[in-house]
Structure 1
Amino acid sequence: MGHSAPVWDCRAATEITQDWNGIDQVVLRNPKGASARISLHGGQVCSWRNEQGEELLFTSSKAIFKAPKAMRGGISICFPQFGSCGSLEQHGFVKNKIWTIDDNPPPMCSDDIEGGSFVDLLYRSSEEDLKFWPYSFELRLRASLLPDGDLVLRSRIRNVNGKPFGFSFAYHTHLVVSDISEVRIEGLETVDFLDNLCQKERFTEQGDAITFESEVDRVYVSTPNVIAVLDHERKRTYVIRKEGLPDVVVWNPWEKKSKAMVDFGDEEYKQMLCVNGAALERPITLRPGEEWTGKLQLTVVPSSFSFDL
């Protein structure tokens, strides 16, 4: 009598642990041994490992793992703003809040979870939040680890407020790279960008790829939905696919700014690159009851792999 093949149980591949502050983290695994770890502090992705166990997201060795400050690294959710503006803290406030596991989420697209593992998280605005941002909202995040190791983040923001509000959004994504001077980004050629190092002056990307030899802090606007980050030394490529996120932030602090950040090592800029799917140039407006969805999918392939940009 033959044995049937084992059935992959996506629920058994989801585990809840706690960090050293006692905050819950959800660990996702896939059949090949890849994993992702998502903290209920900020709905932040703290780790994403391939099937060889290699960490693909950068976290600073000097990161502060203590509420109310978000950890420097991984992928954090920036809402209702990215950057500094007005009285709100930099990159918004949901990254510093404790989220909950959403046991009864509304239906979402099933292509995120087929054969993989996932978790649904929820943050609802509190009375405290309304004191400095007077709009009620629900923010849902589904984090999925697919059978091939891809990491998928899908966010849904609903206006449960009696009046319209506008917001910006970003997945603040810190990628591990072998050497920033050996990295190039493809897919943003001829795209306009706002240079934060030049008072947000607008320029057009002239090179056939973005390379790094000094500090970079740019918002590329109206970008393609697929871009690639090529790491020559590791011979691997991050492919970034996005929906509902027209802009891309590219950031590396380089040497001088690294030394000025207390939660970032002096030399760590060499192993880190931020490439953030975002909606920044034109804020999103939701009327009462309306909902917005944004999606980010990260894939890692050998650099010899052919992909469509």
Structure 2
Amino acid sequence: MSTSSSATAAAGGAGEEGAAQPQQVGPVQTCKGVNGLEKVVLREVRSCSAEVYLYGGHVTSWKDEHGEELLFVSNKAIFKPPKAIRGGIPICFPQFSNFGNLEQHGFARNRTWSIENDPPPFPVPTSNRAYVDLILTPTEEDLKIWPHSFEFRLRVALGPGGDLMLTSRIRNTNTDGKPFSFTFAYHTYFSISDISEVRVEGLETLDYLDNLQERNRYTEQGDAIVFESELDRIYLGTPSKIAIIDHEKKRTFVVRKGGLPDAVVWNPWDKKAKAMSDFGDDEYKRMVCVEAAAIEKQITLKPGEEWTGKLELSAVPSSYYSGQLDPDRVLQDSSVPEDSIS
């Protein structure tokens, strides 16, 4: 069984403590990040950028053309195995949450992925130059706790306009003829001005499972999701586009997704924030998680079958704070052709 214990691409930059600057200039660079962990830096011509750590296949940074950080990473995040990095976009696989003998949110987010220099043909060819292909296969230890052979390919791409795109392809490579089932989430932490200034649009009238109420099922009654206390919900049968409106920053994040019917909305609030060792006591005010996911119904793959789950994030100026912007138009105007996201 092949493993993914090391990267196949050589890293540039210094190896001292902290994040070293890449030595070369180009759309894709490798260098050492925090604690010497290898990362890939993606850059676009408009000065947008993204950073992906091989540890966890974990996107830890997404900056716009002004250099403003759009993702939240805790100041107390531990960039050291086996702890998952707190913030950015952790990959939850082969499970979301905590069931059975697997660790919380599965193991993909705290394994070291490899750069795949010659991946199989991609379903949708891209003209973007700023992208990286990663692959994860199970180690012998992984097979002891989850006895299934798989290939997990992840492409992280930065579009010319600054959009961030993640595409996951998971293939069952079992040789014993057995199918396997899994749940999945892109556990995205967005950077916001203040949690009291944020609304999530596009999930109104939908059913959700409340993780704070033993996953009992309820129906969303509000015309938007606002935050006044801890919130941890799995919305079901969600649309392909969701908007996160930050009134104070006059900015809207648009989440577009394919193959991921559910959406998790989470903010830990003050009590839970204080209970997390890798999270600042007041940092809950500056983050919100809106996660594209497949949780309620497990995905099942027979040997040789492959599943694809896509996430595309964009940040657009928003005048919603003045009441001039119809939230439905945010979702409509930010749409992409169905064949490019399905």
Please name the residue that 1:28 is paired with.
Answer: 42
**1:104 aligns to what SS in structure 2?**
coil
Please name the residue that 2:331 is paired with.
Answer: 308
Q: Give the CA deviation at 1:109.
A: 3.6
CA distance in 2, matches of 1:109, 1:33: 28
**1:197 aligns to what SS in structure 2?**
helix
Mapping for residues 1-309 of structure 1, pairs under 5 Å = 12-110=26-124, 113-161=126-174, 162=176, 163-304=178-319, 306-309=329-332
Q: Give the CA deviation at 1:116.
A: 4.2
Q: Residue by residue, what CA displacement relative to the aligned partner does 1:262-297 show, whole Å, maximum 9, x if unpaired? A: 110010000000000000000000001100000000
Asked if the contact 1:114/1:146 (under 8 Å) is kept, the reply is no
| Amino acid aligned to 2:46 | K
Q: C-alpha root-mean-square deviation of aligned residues, in Å?
A: 1.2
Q: Which has the higher strand share?
A: 1
TM-score (norm 1): 0.94
* Gap runs ≥5 in structure 2: 1-24, 320-324, 333-342
Q: Residue by residue, what CA displacement relative to the aligned partner does 1:79-110 show, whole Å, maximum 9, x if unpaired? A: 00011101100000011111000111111144
CA distance in 1, matches of 2:87, 2:160: 24
Name segments (4+ residues, structure 1) moved above 3 Å: none
* Gap runs ≥5 in structure 1: 1-10
**2:285 aligns to what SS in structure 1?**
helix
| Amino acid aligned to 1:251 | W
CA distance in 2, matches of 1:83, 1:59: 20
CA distance in 2, matches of 1:50, 1:20: 22
**1:307 aligns to what SS in structure 2?**
helix
Asked if the contact 2:128/2:158 (under 8 Å) is kept, the reply is no
Q: Give the CA deviation at 1:21.
A: 2.6
Asked if the contact 2:195/2:286 (under 8 Å) is kept, the reply is yes
**1:193 aligns to what SS in structure 2?**
strand
CA distance in 2, matches of 1:94, 1:195: 25
CA distance in 1, matches of 2:123, 2:302: 23
Q: Residue by residue, what CA displacement relative to the aligned partner does 1:196-253 show, whole Å, maximum 9, x if unpaired? A: 0111000011111000000000000110010000000000000000000000000000
| Amino acid aligned to 1:34 | C
Q: Give the CA deviation at 1:114.
A: 2.1
Q: Residue by residue, what CA displacement relative to the aligned partner does 1:20-40 show, whole Å, maximum 9, x if unpaired? A: 332210000000000000000
Percent of matched pairs sharing the same residue = 60
